[in-house]
Structure 1
Amino acid sequence: MTMNEPLPHPNLLLQLDALRDKAMAAETLPALAFSMANDLYPLLPFHQALVFAQRDSSLELLNVSGLARPSEDSPYLVWLRRASRWLAAQVPAGEPVWLSQDKVSAPEEIAEGWNEWWPAGLWCVPVEDRGGQRLGLLILLLEQEPPAMFWPHLKGLVNTWGYCWAALSRRRRLGRWWPNRKQLLLGLIVLGALLLLPVRQTALAPTEIVSRQAQIISSPIDGVIEQIQVRPNQPVDAGTPLFVLDETTLRSRAEVLGKEVMVADAELLAASQRAFDNPQSKNELTLLEGRAQQRRAELAAVQAQLKRTQVLSPRAGVAVFSDPNDWLGKPVVTGERIMQVADPSQPAMLIQLAVADAIALEPGAEVTLFLTAYPLTPLKGKILETSYQARPSDEGVVAYRLLASIEGEPAHARLGLHGTAKLYGGRVMLGYYLLRRPLATLRAWSGW
């Protein structure tokens, strides 16, 4: 500004400063475009203001003065999108351009819409960043060109708009980054190469520590458990009493059979004495003798059962079972499992591998067990045997039963502890490892 030029009015400077503050306070690009299209009216009354964003060789409408969001598909907005491509070519970089209807030769389609919706002229103000790259375009619909002295005062505000526009656009690009075609192709190639990498196939399964030398103790006869004579996990020797079945019913039966044996013997003796005098009594001797032998056999069977009501440990080990109170007074049948006598010096892993997680495993495959009680000290082992038929587990999950060894003699490998075992199979491609279960599910669903 030279000494001969008049100073701007203080009210103009205050209004320009307020517009700069609004631009700096905008948090998004639409908010900045709304301020550009509506807040300039007190300084330069216009029919309408349009804010476009530069998109290569075309313009994208961001805001129309008087509208919160220009998302309507009205005839004016549809025509405006076509006219923006013509406007982008009419405004060079740098200074604003005044386009007058009588001095610009617009295409017929643009001219018809201009006559219907626009006034005599357009004042096109380009918005650029510091490097001179166009970011957008402000179009003011006016009847006549603004005074020449207005642009020097407005230029600082336009530069502020460009600075805020560039900052908000950079933030938007950082938040919504999308790869180009070259980056996408390179990413697909890298992904394909990763899917071909060989990895080791693994599976996880619930596991319990059991003994490799364990003998099941079952009920020898039908009856009711009267007393459990050992505690859970108690060391026992061969011949140690484990539990006793109630003998009340068997002793009563034995007493009754004893009386019947005495009666049968008495009848047989009487018939033998009568046979000397009465030949017909000889025919009864065979029948009475057979009846007496039957009663003796029944009595011997009951007495044998009485001897089996006391169950002894067949070997040395540890008695493994649940709470004794769960068994007291409980009726059991012959062969029903009561407890186990296990050797704690030969622990092993009992693995329940669900059918859905099953992988190809052979005896000798490696296993790592992470106990729930000792997660930082895993146990190592190898598969000893696998079942070829899946059975429902106690949790109702159909699973294969696997038995694995435990390497060394770890002190925390106690019977009854639970954990999660990681099973290691053969090496496969990473793509197969990731897509194995989805493909199996797809085949089961589609039958393909």
Structure 2
Amino acid sequence: MTDRLPHPQLLLGLAALRDRALAADSLNALAFSIANDPYALLRYHQGLVLAQRGEDLELLCVSGLARPSEDSPYLVWLRRASRWLAGQLPDATPRWLARDAVEPPEDIAEGWAEWWPSGIWCIPLHDRDGKRLGLVLFLLEAPPAETLLPLMDGLWQTWAHCWAAFGGQRRLLAWRPSKRQLLVALAVAGALMLIPVRQTALAPAEIVSRQAEIVSSPIDGVIERMQVRPNQPVEAGTLLFSLDETTLKSRAEVLGKEVAVADAELMAASQRAFDNPQSKSELTLLNGRAQQRRAELAAVQAQLQRTRVRSPRAGVAVFSDPNDWLGKPVVTGERILQVADPAQPAMLIQLPVADAIALEPGAEVTLFLTAYPLSPLKGEVLETSYQARANDEGVVAYRLLASVQGQPEHARLGLHGTAKLYGERVVLGYYLLRRPFAALRAWTGL
């Protein structure tokens, strides 16, 4: 009775094989263990692990080397031979196939004689539902000992259990819908494309005033000082900025002396005219010259008065950094700042041409300010520009002006955000495919 018990080393070896299979963290690692670890027990020429992929078998691992990446003659023949071998294994029972005991096709027999030994021990691996997971082939010169087969049944079951655990996700990925399911999915997708939705577009926007007056330079000159700060409240008549008066004052002094000289010459000519009748003809010329000098002086004095620019109305001074203007030469009519009424805010929207949708006055607008993203502003489109122009960022866009409903406290001038514009209702298919169709027409010209 003691002679029939298996050797302890054999039992330890089988336990080690099962432990390595259970420790595998992927299907490839499991296949490597199946192909290489049993060599100490079976002493095979080669171990092959193939996975069932529908009607075909995919080679996962070859013992002793990495899986070949090219279609060598051996691999081409192995694909045909594996399909034939799968047909010789109707169930999950391992089977010994000797070359002399079977009659394979001629091309498979030739390859067997060239590459394989005299026999193959074939072990099919199935899951609990009886579905074949893969095939394990051990190339041997003789069948394994009869006493070894019952002991290794537990090993085959462990391999199949681990394989099924790794292959569950692969089976889900390999699911393919039926023709009926495809038709139902297409019908549902077509119905969804007909759902009416509102066209929307996103565009950068800024809070501006609906009542703003531009203050420009009244004359050519150099800005000497900005008297107000950005966003400072001002009243009508408040001094905003002043221009350098050095050149004008020098000109006024010169003209003042020229006027005095002209007056002196005119007085001297008038006195000579009493005694010399010929001097009367000079009076008209000298009188005209004196009036010309007075007119030039009056013009320069008027320009001196215009060097101090005052606010035309009450509001808030809107401009950038004052240091950007100090010492800067300006020309007549050049925009310096704005005086805006903060009580009448509006949205200035720059809608890019690529995102433009059909909008009419009265279309709804929602503005999400960057500083207050959870407190959107509502409004309606008041006016739209007829022609698109490049903005400061170089993007060609339409200019839109929209109102702001109510009197929200956070609608401060100069704040930026993103405006969402709502257009007319269209079907979902048009909404999703509008831009792809526009791009296609732009590329193809159709």
| Global fold match (TM > 0.5) | yes
Q: Distance in 2 between matches of 1:49 and 1:241?
A: 96
Are positions 1:346 and 2:344 aligned together?
A: yes
Q: Report matched runs for 1:87-102 at 5 Å.
A: 87-102=85-100
Q: Report matched runs for 1:221-370 at 5 Å.
A: 221-275=219-273, 278=276, 280-370=278-368
Percent identical residues: 76
Q: Distance in 2 between matches of 1:164 and 1:23?
A: 7
Query: Helix, strand or coil for the counterpart of 1:68?
Result: coil
Are positions 1:180 and 2:183 aligned together?
A: no
Q: Distance in 2 between matches of 1:53 and 1:306?
A: 96
Q: Distance in 2 between matches of 1:6 and 1:157?
A: 20
1:308 positional shift: 2.2
Query: Helix, strand or coil for the counterpart of 1:396?
Result: coil
Letter in 1 for 2:241: F
Q: Report matched runs for 1:156-235 at 5 Å.
A: 156-174=154-172, 176=173, 179-182=176-179, 186-235=184-233
Alignment-derived partner of residue 370 in structure 2: 372
1:407 positional shift: 0.7
Which string of whole-angstrom CA distances, capped at 9 and with x for unpartnered residues, describes residues 200-248 of structure 1?
Answer: 2222222222211111122222233344444433333333333333333
Letter in 1 for 2:177: N
Q: Distance in 1 between matches of 2:17 and 2:401?
A: 79
Q: Distance in 1 between matches of 2:386 and 2:153?
A: 84
When structure 1 is superposed on structure 2, of 402-411 and 93-102 the one drifting more is 93-102
Q: Distance in 2 between matches of 1:228 and 1:272?
A: 50
1:23 positional shift: 1.6
Assess, with a 3 A threshold, how the Cα gap between structure 1 residues 153 and 367 changes in structure 2: closer, same or farther.
same
Q: Distance in 2 between matches of 1:141 and 1:326?
A: 87
1:410 positional shift: 1.4
Q: In the alignment, is the contact (CA less than 8 A) between 1:16 and 1:157 conserved in 2?
A: yes
Q: Distance in 1 between matches of 2:354 and 2:373?
A: 25
Letter in 2 for 1:219: S
Query: Helix, strand or coil for the counterpart of 2:259?
Result: helix
Are positions 1:48 and 2:46 aligned together?
A: yes
Q: In the alignment, is the contact (CA less than 8 A) between 1:58 and 1:88 conserved in 2?
A: no
Letter in 2 for 1:242: L
Q: In the alignment, is the contact (CA less than 8 A) between 1:211 and 1:348 conserved in 2?
A: yes
Equivalent pairs counted in the alignment come to 445
Q: In the alignment, is the contact (CA less than 8 A) between 1:364 and 1:384 conserved in 2?
A: yes
1:279 positional shift: 5.2
Q: Distance in 2 between matches of 1:418 and 1:71?
A: 58
Alignment-derived partner of residue 399 in structure 1: 397
When structure 1 is superposed on structure 2, of 350-359 and 361-370 the one drifting more is 350-359
Q: Distance in 1 between matches of 2:231 and 2:261?
A: 50
Query: Helix, strand or coil for the counterpart of 2:58?
Result: strand
Q: In the alignment, is the contact (CA less than 8 A) between 1:211 and 1:344 conserved in 2?
A: yes
- Matching residue within 53, 73, 76 for 1:75: 73
Q: Distance in 1 between matches of 2:308 and 2:103?
A: 117
Which string of whole-angstrom CA distances, capped at 9 and with x for unpartnered residues, describes residues 327-378 of structure 1?
Answer: 4444332212222222222111122222333222211111111222222211
TM-score relative to the length of structure 2: 0.89
Q: Distance in 1 between matches of 2:250 and 2:2?
A: 136
Letter in 2 for 1:198: P
Query: Helix, strand or coil for the counterpart of 1:299?
Result: helix
Query: Helix, strand or coil for the counterpart of 1:43?
Result: helix
Alignment-derived partner of residue 140 in structure 1: 138
Alignment-derived partner of residue 152 in structure 2: 154
TM-score relative to the length of structure 1: 0.88
Q: What is the alpha-carbon root mean square deviation over aligned residues?
A: 2.8
Return 5+ residue gaps in structure 2 as ranges.
Answer: none
Q: Report matched runs for 1:93-112 at 5 Å.
A: 93-112=91-110
Alignment-derived partner of residue 13 in structure 2: 15
